[in-house]
A and B are shown apart, each in its own frame.
Chain A
Amino acid sequence: DAGVIQSPRHEVTEMGQEVTLRCKPISGHNSLFWYRQTMMRGLELLIYFNNNVPIDDSGMPEDRFSAKMPNASFSTLKIQPSEPRDSAVYFCASTLTGGTEAFFGQGTRLTVV
């Protein structure tokens, strides 16, 4: 298996633009997490999906952030409009519900200028 695949690896955008981050979980995994990593706040959970349904989105910072999982093999995290404070590395991770460790993608480094 290729593991969790995220795209793009790097994204530089101007403030106010829409940004879409993509994630393909490991085949057969039915739980998916989006995390954000910054120096100041460490690794923060943004949203958790189980069987394509958002279960916990309490970590989504504000209405500018939205996430979808239209099927078991694809998820998106959208920021609209983007702001400089959104600059961070965004990770997607997947696991089996009731399974143990989560598997992480390589991350998307977002820079908003």
Chain B
Amino acid sequence: AQSVAQPEDQVNVAEGNPLTVKCTYSVSGNPYLFWYVQYPNRGLQFLLKYITGDNLVKGSYGFEAEFNKSQTSFHLKKPSALVSDSALYFCAVRGSSGGSYIPTFGRGTSLIVHP
């Protein structure tokens, strides 16, 4: 069975500092990995994905994520945090072969960026 772990319930960072939100995964075969963001009273919005190719993927709003196959990790990063980045962030994984199209989500990490 596939699974996602987001080890931190909350991450606090000062505005202008770099941020990292951690994610590790487990899946059979090659993974498809995703990050979503959820603002209060809103649905999940897609940020970025890793399918294949370059291990560093870039997404919306200046976010990027690094795929590390040996560590089965897909950490979300941003060089300089903004107060407006404060939100709930979800990592998700699904398999790449037939029959494994259902994405599994982590518990979410609340990012708080302080002015």
For the residues of A in contact with B, the DSSP-based class is strand
Q: Is A101 an interface residue (CB 8 A)?
A: yes
Alpha-carbon distance A3/B42, docked complex (angstroms) = 13
Query: In the complex, are the beta carbons of B49 and A101 less than 8 A apart?
Result: yes
Query: In the complex, are the beta carbons of B45 and A42 less than 8 A apart?
Result: no
Query: In the complex, are the beta carbons of A97 and B107 less than 8 A apart?
Result: no
Q: Is B44 an interface residue (CB 8 A)?
A: yes
Closest B residue to A4 by CB, please name it. Answer: B43
B102 contact set on A, CB distance < 8 A: 33, 45, 48, 56
A42 contact set on B, CB distance < 8 A: 105-108
B43 contact set on A, CB distance < 8 A: 4, 91, 104-107
A101 contact set on B, CB distance < 8 A: 34, 46, 49
Most buried by B among A45, A100, A105: A100
A59: shortest Cβ distance to chain B, in Å?
Answer: 9
Q: Is B56 an interface residue (CB 8 A)?
A: no
A91 contact set on B, CB distance < 8 A: 43-44
Please provide the 5 A-B residue pairs with the shortest distance between their CB atoms, ordered closest to farther: A104-B43, A42-B107, A104-B44, A43-B105, A106-B43
